[in-house]
Amino acid sequence: MKTLYLLRHAKSSWDDPELKDFERPLADRGRRDVPEMASRFQQRGSQLDCIICSPAVRAKTTAKLMAEELGFDADEVASNPELYFAGAGMFLKAARLVDDHFESAMLVGHNPAITEFANLMTGAEIDNIPTCGLVQMSLPIESWS
């Protein structure tokens, strides 16, 4: 059994219209939301072995803040460029690349793909995973590939 977590990046800032989408930072609200979500994650007794994120500033910052809050080495957060412009298929590809010695992994990315992937994997009809929203999936698999 493997556990896959999907985390949508926290609320980003639109304060600087000159910034490219890729470079948008987290808003103050986003920086406040990550510790709250990390606390909920810990209260559930969830375990995490690796974090893989989109390289966009808002996703990478979300992933590193989450790692720090969970006592996970933020330097070990991996970046996968395919998660930036990803469709649901790229999330599946990223999950399949997780090393098999990891029992759990978190993918940090963007809408609409992260919601589409969650729906594809679970058969759910989630309309929209909100910013800093987290989905947990227990997968009846022995290997990520």
Q: Residue 12, exposed/middle/buried by CB under 10 A (0-12, 13-18, 19+)?
A: buried
Please report the pLDDT score of residue 135 as a whole number: 97
Average model confidence (pLDDT) for the chain? 96
Cα dist from 96 to 38, 64, 141, whole Å: 24, 22, 11
Average pLDDT (30-42) is 98
Give residue limits of the domains in the chain. Answer: 2-12+22-139
Q: How far is CA 133 from the centre of its chain?
A: 9
Give the separation between CA 145 and CA 141, rounded to whole angstroms.
9
The residue with tokens 């759910």 is: 124
The β-bridge relationship of strands 78-79 and 134-139 is unpaired
- Whether 86 shows a pLDDT value over 90: the answer reads no
- Whether 22 shows a pLDDT value over 90: the answer reads yes
Map residue 30 onto helix, strand or coil: helix
Kindly report the CATH number that applies to the domain delimited by 2-12+22-139: 3.40.50.1240
Helix (H) or strand (E) holding 100: none
Q: What is the pLDDT of residues 42-65, one digit of tens each?
A: 999 999 999 999 999 999 999 999
Average pLDDT (21-34) is 98
Q: What is the pLDDT of residues 114-138, one digit of tens each?
A: 999 999 999 999 999 999 999 999 9
Average pLDDT (135-142) is 97
* Backbone phi, psi, residue 49, to 5°: -105, -30
